[in-house]
Amino acid sequence: MKRTALITGSTSGIGLAIAQTLAAKGYNIAFNGLEANGEAIAKQTAETYGIDYLFSPCNVLDPEQITAFVNQTLERFGAIDVLVNNAGIQHVSPVQDFPLEKWNQIIGINLTAPFLFTKAVWPSMKKQTFGRIINIASAHGLVASEYKSAYVASKHGIIGFTKTTALEGAPYNITVNAVCPGYVHTPIVENQIADQMQAHQLSREEVIQKVMLAKQAIKSFIPIELIANSVAFLAADETTTITGIALPVEGGWTAQ
């Protein structure tokens, strides 16, 4: 059976790696992202793996655009079997200076958007008694770091939401799980390296080793394929009775 996956923020970084991994397994993909070349990235990925696709530049801060994107995907493919809530942003600032606008944006993209997507796909998943929802949280969904108040709050929140919807989905064969990556070398992290170099007056290598990877027991970036494969495992038809978990893929960060 050909399955369809809708993946937010899938024209960059982790989302794109997830799209490539699911495409290699034959899933149709509904791509999304704000990258200017998003359509080209989606088209190229679909051609590489010989799958059907659509691309939406939907801004996940806009509830109407989310509804339209979900409806467009349902009309095109007849189902959304897998939803991956991956789009996310970060902002680093001491709490006393944290701009309200940034707080609202982070909560909106990292937490409210997954709620809206889940709500929008829920009736069709319930009707077909099949659904796999995977929320990309973070090690910061399990533990905190200073200066990341909004991000840490949003990622802790998404784990709570994952557990609640896992309970509600259980009677309908809808599983809901979170994946909690450590540091993966993507544009979101590249931007943080620049910010932290400035904030701590450190070199690039010092920021990577002393600030970022300091918290991981294994001192290397998490391979992006490992995150994508974890999502593919949780998305599989056979993964029937794992639900409500927050899977750490973080080099032993939260073991300490």
Binding site for ligand NAD (CB under 6 A): 8-9, 11-15, 32-35, 59-61, 86-89, 109, 136, 138, 181, 183-184, 186-189
Q: How far apart are CA 17 and CA 221, in angstroms?
A: 15
Asked if 250 and 222 touch (Cβ cutoff 8 Å), the reply is yes
Q: Which residues are bridge partners to 5 per DSSP?
A: 29, 82
In angstroms, what is the minimal distance from the CB of 16 to ligand NAD? Answer: 7
Asked if 68 and 43 touch (Cβ cutoff 8 Å), the reply is no
Q: Between 28 and 86, name the residue whose CB sits nearer to ligand NAD.
A: 86
Q: Between 90 and 124, name the residue whose CB sits nearer to ligand NAD.
A: 90
Side by side, the strands of the sheet bearing 131-136 are 53-56, 28-32, 4-7, 82-85, 131-136, 174-181, 246-249
Task: Identify whether 151 is a catalytic site residue.
Answer: yes
Q: Between 34 and 68, name the residue whose CB sits nearer to ligand NAD.
A: 34
Element (H, E) at 249: strand 246-249
In angstroms, what is the minimal distance from the CB of 191 to ligand NAD? Answer: 8
Identify each DSSP E strand in 36-130 by its residue range.
Answer: 53-56, 82-85
In angstroms, what is the minimal distance from the CB of 170 to ligand NAD? Answer: 25
In angstroms, what is the minimal distance from the CB of 187 to ligand NAD? Answer: 4
Q: Which position has the token pair 């200066």?
A: 147
Asked if 73 and 80 touch (Cβ cutoff 8 Å), the reply is yes
Asked if 163 and 157 touch (Cβ cutoff 8 Å), the reply is no
Tokens of 80: 């959304």
Q: Which position has the token pair 């840490």?
A: 152
Closest by Cα among 185, 187, 188, 204 to 196: 204
Asked if 227 and 179 touch (Cβ cutoff 8 Å), the reply is yes
Q: Between 230 and 243, name the residue whose CB sits nearer to ligand NAD.
A: 230
In angstroms, what is the minimal distance from the CB of 12 to ligand NAD? Answer: 4
Q: Per the residue annotation, which of 49, 151, 172, 183 is the catalytic one?
A: 151
Q: Would you name the residues annotated as active-site residues?
A: 151
